[in-house]
Amino acid sequence: NEVMVIDHEEQELMTEEARHDLDATVHSISKAFRMFNFKNILSKKSQVNGLIPTESSVDFAFPPELADALHQLYHLRRGSMLGHGLQSMDDRVMSRNLFIRLPLEDTLSMIAPVLWKCQLNNDESPPLLLLDPVPCITLALWDNCVIAADHYDCLFVWSGRGTLGPEYDGLREKCKKHLLELVSNSNGDNHRFTPIKIYMLKEGDSMSRRLTTRLAPAHADPPQHQLASFPDLAHLTPTQLQTLRDKFRFYDAKADASFRRWFWSVVRATSKAPNEGRSLAE
């Protein structure tokens, strides 16, 4: 067996350097994109809808073709491998060691959890489980929803306040079965490289932090940006929407920036990112 001796101070320093390098990379890509494509983007936007792009549009400042990769970098930066989550330093080092050895599909699963809103179609016999993908953000945790989440070696079934009754037990069991099937091969064995943990969470329990800390804090964004990142929020009443936001009122935006806050702090002209890190795109 391989023995790893971990210098925690050195690991923290290397982690900070990695975050700075990711910031510098995003800054350099954004700078090049705006420099060479500003005129084309301005013309295209004007022709399509008569609007001039502003700094509220990420597409104006970063290649749309790389939008998914940009979000992955954000989650990598704040997640368990490079961020300040609930994992110990030893666990984070083991995760990094595994990350560089795994195939692409598995590494993407390690970076950010995949979420589904779960419902039962009772018109079918037996009732059919319906899975609706939702963004990996805090504002996906509605009171009336059961959420299934897959984060490689951690699986979650989260129940909102309005779904804690026994009538939802069948839905929770189907969600659990679905998640276990994702990580199992044809023989029913775990095909991932680490033991799988599954958490059955209820809103308000302290254990729910195991899921919420993995989600991007979109509740910190202005309302118009929240709606842009998750259009389904338009289906909530103003009271429901305010209640949803209030779930996360005890939050330090400086310690854990939302995607938009982080992005604009990195790509703005006065950003320190180019001086603090080394771009991986150069």
Q: pLDDT 10s per residue in the chain (282 long)?
A: 555 556 778 888 888 999 999 999 999 999 999 887 766 655 555 444 443 444 447 888 999 899 999 999 999 999 888 887 667 777 888 888 889 888 898 899 999 999 999 988 767 667 788 999 999 999 999 999 999 999 999 999 999 999 999 999 999 999 999 999 998 865 666 678 788 999 999 998 999 999 999 999 999 898 888 998 899 999 999 999 999 999 988 778 778 899 999 999 999 989 999 999 999 887
DSSP state of 202: E
H helix intervals, 230-277: 238-246, 259-267, 273-276
What fold, for 113-212?
A: Severin (3.40.20)
Beta-sheet strands, E only, within the chain: 114-121, 128-134, 146-151, 154-159, 197-202
Per this entry, what is the length of the chain? 282
Residue 99 CB coordination number (10 Å): 15
Amino acid occupying residue 122? N
Report CA Rg, the chain.
Answer: 21
Amino acid occupying residue 22? L
DSSP, residue by residue, 124-180: SSSPEEEEEEE-SBGGG--TT-EEEEEETTEEEEEE-GGG-SGGGHHHHHHHHHHHH
User: Between β-strands 154-159 and 197-202, what pairing exists: parallel, antiparallel or unpaired?
Assistant: parallel
DSSP state of 233: G
Instruction: Show the tokens assigned to 191.
Output: 């095909």
Q: Using CA atoms, how far apart are residues 93 and 18, in angstroms rounded to an integer?
A: 13
Pick from 148, 169, 173, 171: nearest CA to 158: 148
* Positions of CATH 3.40.20.10 in the chain: 113-212
* Residue 273, pLDDT score: 93
